[in-house]
Amino acid sequence: MINKKIEEIKESDLQALINDKVFEGKTIDYKRDLPDNSDSAKKEFLADITSFANSSGGDLIFGISQDNQTGEPKAIEGIEVENADKEKTRLDNIIRDGIEPRLLSTTIQPISLSNSKFAILIRVPKSWIGPHRVIYGGNSKFHARNSSGKYEMDVDELRIAFNLTETIAERIRKFRIDRISNIFADETPIPLYQNPKIVLHLIPINSFNPSQNYDINCITSHPEKLIPINSNGCNWRFNLDGFLTYSGGSDGRFRSYVQLYRNGIIEAVESFLIRPREIRDGEKRFFIPNVFEKKLFEVFSSYLKVLSELRVDPPIFVFLSLLGVKGYIMGIDDPYGDYPQHPIDRDLLLLPEAVVENYDIKAEEILRPLFDLIWNACGFQWSLNFDENGNWIAR
């Protein structure tokens, strides 16, 4: 695999593969031509894609010819493509419809060449939700890769792959539950206010690779990239788990923090937005939904950018939890007085996960379904802060 972000790869990087005589192997494969629309070509293409996903990931590069005798990459010949975006869509559709379970984060990058042609690079990260099989045309085969190229997986390899997927899913759920339990018990990196808490977890699926460890120093020089929820600034320090930012505080307690773990997990906790409020007729438990949603929108994209800069491969699982919220209602103004107000009936709202499949996704696409569930818990059909087109309008 070329050691660069895919969007930064240029013709010179492809030429370096030829100059350095980088042969095909476990994480790189060369093809002279793109697959056509024949069944056999599509099956071969899908076998290549799944072999990377079921192994260590890698780059599949179209437009490079090889020596027939040695397999050595010979020249960047390129491919004549009338419309690169249209070709990208065609390949995307083949991958989407021909593989089960669906791959979440394959990236296709056309690379302009000096001969006015294109090379097409497809980056396939190692998948932790596999194994993936080719299902196109009634096929049902699993492929993996070694230093000699792709091969069909045997029964023992399939058993190990399925068990690994189950183990990863269990570890993600266990991590979330363990952290929620600790936060609920006030066992946090810094002491927080004794109010209900908003907890946002971004958990890359490859964080549970035992050897996964990111160089977080590229982030620590800019702590503002990890601004805590509902904050205008922050303090920061290193700790045993990685890097911590935190803000607000009095009497030895703080408003919010963000913990960046060395394996790429981000945990953001806030303890001031949802709290009992004193009004004329006494204390009431409500939170202001447009402020709550706005504060989460503000930080979510920033946290995704941090993971992108760390070169964390999607998919990334997003969990939103509310702790200590039993009895709270939506604080909405009189124009919405006709809506029935129902207090939340439990202390812990552990919302189901959302999945970030790529870094181009908009925050609204991920967070809106989670916001809708919180409004559901208060008796509403959905969040009233979105219009009919899904745009956030903060009523």
Q: What angle do CA 341, 346, 347 make, to 5 degrees?
A: 115
Domain of residue 364 covers: 167-377
200 with 296: CB under 8 angstroms? yes
Structural domain total, the chain: 2
CB contact set of 344 (below 8 Å; sequence gap of 6+): 322, 325, 326, 327, 328, 329, 377, 378
What is the rounded CA–CA span in Å between residue 72 and residue 276? Answer: 69
260 with 236: CB under 8 angstroms? no
Q: Are residues 138 and 213 in the same domain?
A: no
Q: Are residues 222 and 143 in the same domain?
A: no
- Is 32 among the domain residues? yes
CA distances from 347 to 177, 325, 326, 367 (A): 14, 5, 4, 21
**Residue 27 clears pLDDT 50, i.e. is over it:** yes
The mean pLDDT value for 100-129 works out to 89
What is the rounded CA–CA span in Å between residue 364 and residue 371? Answer: 10
pTM reported for the whole predicted model: 0.71
The pLDDT of residue 281: 62
* Boundary of a domain, candidates 153, 177, 199: 153
Average pLDDT, the chain: 89
Residue with token string 């409500």: 286
Q: Provide the β-strand partners of residue 285.
A: 276
32-66: string of b/e by CB count within 10 Å (b at 16+)? Answer: eebbeeeeeebbebbbbbbbbbbbbbbbbbbbbbb
**Residue 255 clears pLDDT 90, i.e. is over it:** yes
Assign 337 a pLDDT band (cuts: 50, 70, 90).
low
Assign 317 a pLDDT band (cuts: 50, 70, 90).
very high
Q: Are residues 233 and 123 in the same domain?
A: no
Pick from 1, 40, 51: nearest CA to 151 = 51
* DSSP one-letter string for 93-154: HHHHHHEESPPS--EEEEEE-TTS-EEEEEEEPPPSS---EE-GGG--EEEEEETTEEEE--
Structure tokens, 121: 């690079």
Residue, of 264 and 283, whose pLDDT is higher: 264
* Boundary of a domain, candidates 92, 126, 153: 153
Instruction: List the CATH number of the domain containing 16.
Output: 3.30.950.30
Q: Provide the β-strand partners of residue 275.
A: 286
Tens digits of residue pLDDT in 207-216: 887 777 888 8
